[in-house]
Amino acid sequence: MNLFSIFLGRVHAAIHDIAGDRADAIALHLSRVVVEPPRDASHGDMATNAAMVLAKEFGAKPRDLAEALAAKLREDPDVAAVEIAGPGFINLRLREAVWIDALASMLGAGPEFGRSQIGQNRATNVEYVSANPTGPMHVGHCRGAVFGDALANLLQFAGYDVTREYYVNDAGAQVDVLARSVYLRYREALGEDIGAIPEGLYPGDYLSPVGKALADLYGDTLLKKSEAEWLPMVRAAAIEEMLAVIKDDLAALDIRHDVFFSEASLQGQGGAVDTTLDQLRKAGLVYEGRLPPPKGQLPEDWEDREQTLFKTEQFGDDTDRPLVKSDCSYTYFASDVAYMKDKIGRGFEELIFVLGADHGGYVKRLEAVAAALSGGKAHVDVKLVQLVRLFRAGEPVKMSKRAGDFVTLREVVDEVGRDAVRFMMLFRKNDAVLDFDFAKVVEQSRENPVFYVQYAYARTQSVLRNAAESLGGDVGGPASADALARLSDAGEIGLIRKLAEFPRIVESAAQAHEPHRIAFYLHELASDLHHHWNRGNDNPGLRFVVADDPQATNGRLALVRGVALVLSTGLRLLGVAAPAEMR
């Protein structure tokens, strides 16, 4: 139930009523007509731009058209007043009963309030995290992980058919380096003194247990084998272990993927990469050619040579992209093409990629590949997630990648908790750099948005507990129509109005792929609740629990339950807990 779309329907009807034989021409422009809350609450409850958008088609001045539409809308029994303002806005003021009904109906919907069908079950793939299986996750992965997970929740709630996917880079040079690093630990586990870890191998001691496990399993038999023999065995074991570590890290953030897709599974003789490239060759999209060197500074090892290229440029990429390396193996990009083909083959229409901002150069080629492979059917959206800067009480946390002393995701979660991490990662637009302060995010203060929002929910529960105590157990049931009708204070109606916005926030956030809008909305709702609460300090008549007036109390408790409902649903979408009390 979205009040704004309901009234959009009524505005459409009013337009249709006065359109006459222009109806067909006007229908084409209807999508630009919106009904939204006005920026300034004094303008009314809802505003529509219909008259300004359609003035040309009607051959009328915006304000004249607005007048005609207003006359129609005034016939609506739910509308208390219609005003025309500015260049031709139509402002609607709704009868109070509409808000009361809205509250009753959202309480009836319960946890389903806000759910939408705009996704129309579109098959949607959200790929996120996809960290190389070479070690535990560090903070750099954290933001994309939370973002992708919350976005997936949001899209599901908005009616998309969502698959959460992780692309495992288990082919290529990196996992060979991993295998060699583990092999060293294996020798160490057998009692050998391996000394310092050589440059170019992974130094982290998280690999020691893997080496130990191999020693337990194989004894010293691997020592006698050549690298060509032991490497695949060690590699497979190492990848499996690292993936288990990563899944464990993700679970600490309450993140679980549906599909872990192996890059290696695409490769090999007659594999998906082979067949995909064959198809592209047949389609004339692959050729042997030379690439112009990059503009500006020429890389030192630049060598002008002929290579196998995919014609991505004609699909919007900056240049064509190589598919085969100089050693005749496939490039990472070739796997990517086959992987994209696989996703499209599985029927996905919406392909969302959550990547770090340093992958910005990858956007155009992904879009081009999807366009080339799906004939423009599959829609790609790459969400770039900016970096997180860590602070400890205002001081930047120093990290050196070379020395391997990066902060792990697990350390952050263990220190401040899952809720703080998740909420803060979402309390900023994805493409803006985010400052994360260990001290601030656990502070119990107004300046800490995690606490501020969770505390608002705890406050609703505290009120309900309190009311149950002072009024007896009879406050849990649904409020009667008479009780609801007692809601009339501007602050109370204002809160309902805010609650009624939730469904359209869900829809717009889902369509824009911007979960942060939910976080900001919740922060506003929390703020409205706290403000209304504070008014009760000066004016006891506005408090939720009115000792000698059970009917008014019942109505107000329904409002409290409505706020609690939306806060908990919103927090659920973000993957953040809604605690009943905070002490």
Partner RNA sequence: GGCCCCGUAGCUCAGCUGGAUAGAGCAGCAGCCUUCUAAGCUGUUGGUCGCAGGUUCGAGUCCUGCCGGGGUCGCCA
What part of residues 410-469 is at the interface with RNA (CB under 7 A)?
Answer: 428-429, 431-435, 444-447, 452, 455, 458-459, 461-463, 465-466
Of 304, 403, 473, 548, which lies in the binding site for RNA, with binding defined by CB under 7 A? Answer: 304
Residue 206 touching RNA (CB under 7 A): no
- Window 539 to 568, contacts with RNA (CB under 7 A): 540, 543-545
**Near RNA by CB under 7 A, which window of 248-256, 322-330, 473-481, 567-575?**
322-330
Q: Which is nearer to RNA, 147 or 188 (CB)?
A: 147
Decide: 369 and 336 in contact? Cβ < 8 Å: yes
Name every residue whose Cβ is closer than 8 Å to that of residue 144 and which is 6 or more positions away in sequence. Answer: 128, 129, 354, 355, 356, 385
Residue 47 touching RNA (CB under 7 A): yes
CA 546 → CA 112, 272, 482, 484, 498, distances in Å?
30, 69, 16, 14, 23
Residue 294 touching RNA (CB under 7 A): yes
Q: Which is nearer to RNA, 222 or 421 (CB)?
A: 421
Residue 482 touching RNA (CB under 7 A): no
Of 126, 514, 525, 569, which lies in the binding site for RNA, with binding defined by CB under 7 A? Answer: 514
Say how far apart CA 344 and CA 350 lie, in whole Å: 9
Count other Cβ atoms within 10 Å, centred on residue 397.
13
Decide: 435 and 429 in contact? Cβ < 8 Å: no
Decide: 346 and 375 in contact? Cβ < 8 Å: no
**Near RNA by CB under 7 A, which window of 113-121, 390-398, 500-508, 564-572?**
500-508
Residue 362 touching RNA (CB under 7 A): yes
CB-side neighbour CA atoms (13 Å) of 457 = 23
Name every residue whose Cβ is closer than 8 Å to that of residue 356 and which is 6 or more positions away in sequence. Answer: 140, 144, 384, 385, 387
Q: Which is nearer to RNA, 48 or 215 (CB)?
A: 48
- Window 563 to 582, contacts with RNA (CB under 7 A): 581-582
**Near RNA by CB under 7 A, which window of 213-221, 338-346, 486-494, 506-514?**
506-514
Q: Which of 225, 234, 230, 223 has the alpha carbon at shortest distance from 179? A: 234
Q: Which of 338, 350, 351 has the alpha carbon at shortest distance from 310? A: 338
Q: Which is nearer to RNA, 81 or 194 (CB)?
A: 81
- Window 158 to 177, contacts with RNA (CB under 7 A): 169, 171-174
Query: Number of residues in contact with RNA, rule: CB under 7 A?
Result: 104
Convert residues 377-416 into a mask of x (bound to RNA by CB under 7 A) and - (unbound): -------x-x------------------------------
The SS3 call for residue 449 is: helix
Say how far apart CA 276 and CA 289 lie, in whole Å: 19
Residue 201 touching RNA (CB under 7 A): no
Residue 277 touching RNA (CB under 7 A): no
Name every residue whose Cβ is closer than 8 Å to that of residue 436 and which is 6 or more positions away in sequence. Answer: 388, 389, 390, 391, 424, 425
**Near RNA by CB under 7 A, which window of 150-158, 353-361, 366-374, 482-490?**
353-361
Residue 364 touching RNA (CB under 7 A): yes
> Least Å distance between CB 61 and RNA?
10
Residue 497 touching RNA (CB under 7 A): no
Q: Which of 142, 197, 234, 181 has the alpha carbon at shortest distance from 402? A: 197
